[in-house]
Amino acid sequence: MNCKTCAIMSGFGGAGAFSDGKYNITNNFGGTLYEYIGKETAIELMNYVDEINVKFGGEGTKMYSTSGTHIKKLCMQNKLNLLDASVRHLGTDINYVVLENLYAKLKDTVEFRFNCHVDDVEAIDGGYRVITKDGVDECKKCIVSVGRSGSKWMEKVCENLDITTKSNRVDIGVRVELPAVIFSHLTDELYESKIVYRTEKFEDKVRTFCMNPNGIVVNENTNGIVTVNGHSYEDPAKQTENTNFALLVEKHFSEPFKDSNGYGESIARLSNMLGGGVLVQRFGDLIRGRRSTPARIAESFLTPTLSAEPGDLSLVLPKRILDGIIEMIYALDKIAPGTANDDTLLYGVEVKFYNMEVKLDEHLETKHKGLYVIGDGSGVTHSLSHASASGVFVAREIAEEV
């Protein structure tokens, strides 16, 4: 609660509060909400929330689209797939304004309790008992929305209430930082390009994620494990000359192994053990099989935006994952020449933890009547847009019933 690095993952607005504020309107990525409520309803709700974001401080922010772009053809010619989406870039700075305005609107009619730890949720006759450090509250309907940082807590609640869960995937990789001009022909038109590549060696999926033109690389802390992320600002005065994005390899596990998040955490812990936090390595050093040093980083033509420990990512990432990342960098180099330059920086590790998927029905309701689970805490959504849409959907369901 008092750590700046941890604070960007929770609190009012959740992990989205201090994110880059990329609001993607699409069913192609960001979660599987459409499987529960239908594709048309999901898109309608995402557009509705976008209107609210614009109304509460997002006026003047730009909506980008991959529809009909020549870049899609360029990607396909080089064994890459550009996913279709519309994306509004609010930026970390405008995100804050939107949330501040929403809070100002709601504070007189909604009771907010900050720094109030919820110990448990219990099913009782006719409803639920919510046990907090401040006491006990009882209700007929209860909505649980604890985000990604509440995954361990959510798992315990599901176990206590006998709610079925299943293991989700984990995405493991690095954050790439390079001069903004290398990707400018993509980012100027699309802002964020979600590009997927299937490796030739293992046929694993590698994708770009969270692209931040003229942005900065940042630390984030999840349950005491320091990983890397990135964001950018709408305000030109806060922008840099670098662009950063993640390259992530999807890992799905079959029986009997179920702890996909534990697997990702163990890799991140190894990075923390070697570097005391996040490691950084020049792409040229990685290919030559040598660790980066402070001197080699200083001699680069690229100035890092995050102070990280120079090291060797090949000692941290499993070979299969590292091979996939290297393949992807060479593939991206064909559509954005310069991506595979020696001075391109790789920060590791970046891990996208997905909550185990909670068994829900078409109302996003558990087997217990009146108990709903929404947002990333459900394992159903993985993005600002899908999480927001799930919240509005449940609110409408309850309002209609009442």
**Per-residue pLDDT reduced to its tens digit, 134-191:** 899 999 999 999 998 888 899 999 999 999 998 888 999 999 999 999 999 999 999 9
Q: How does pLDDT run across 333-384, given as a tens digit for each residue? A: 999 999 999 999 999 999 988 888 999 999 999 999 999 999 999 999 999 9
3 falls within a domain: no
Residues 328, 255, single domain; the answer is yes
- 64 CA to centre of own chain: 19
CB 323 within 8 A of CB 172: no
- pLDDT score of 120 more than 90: yes
Residues 335, 236, single domain; the answer is yes
Q: According to the model, what pLDDT value does residue 15 have?
A: 82
Provide the terminal-to-terminal Cα distance of the chain, rounded to the nearest Å. Answer: 36
297 falls within a domain: yes
Residues 147, 177, single domain; the answer is no
- pLDDT score of 5 more than 80: no
Residues 242, 371, single domain; the answer is no
Residues 272, 389, single domain; the answer is no
Range of the domain at 236: 169-353
> Can the peptide bond before residue 87 be classed as cis, meaning omega within 30 degrees of 0?
no
Q: How does pLDDT run across 253-300, given as a tens digit for each residue? A: 887 887 888 899 999 999 999 999 999 999 999 999 999 999 999 999
Q: What percent of the chain stands above pLDDT 70? A: 99
CATH number at residue 124: 3.50.50.60
Residues 232, 347, single domain; the answer is yes
* Number of independent structural domains in the chain: 2
Mean pLDDT of 227-232: 92
Residues 386, 270, single domain; the answer is no
384 falls within a domain: yes
Residues 314, 332, single domain; the answer is yes
Q: According to the model, what pLDDT value does residue 6 have?
A: 66
CB 167 within 8 A of CB 155: no
Residue found by looking up tokens 């790439």 in the block: 176
CB 206 within 8 A of CB 196: yes
52 falls within a domain: no
254 falls within a domain: yes
Q: How does pLDDT run across 297-318, given as a tens digit for each residue? A: 999 999 999 999 999 999 999 9
Cα separation, 346 vs 348, whole angstroms: 7
Q: How does pLDDT run across 16-47, given as a tens digit for each residue? A: 888 889 999 999 999 999 999 999 999 999 99
Residue found by looking up tokens 């330059």 in the block: 341
Residues 180, 157, single domain; the answer is no
Residues 297, 388, single domain; the answer is no
Q: Greater confidence, 295 or 7? A: 295
103 falls within a domain: no
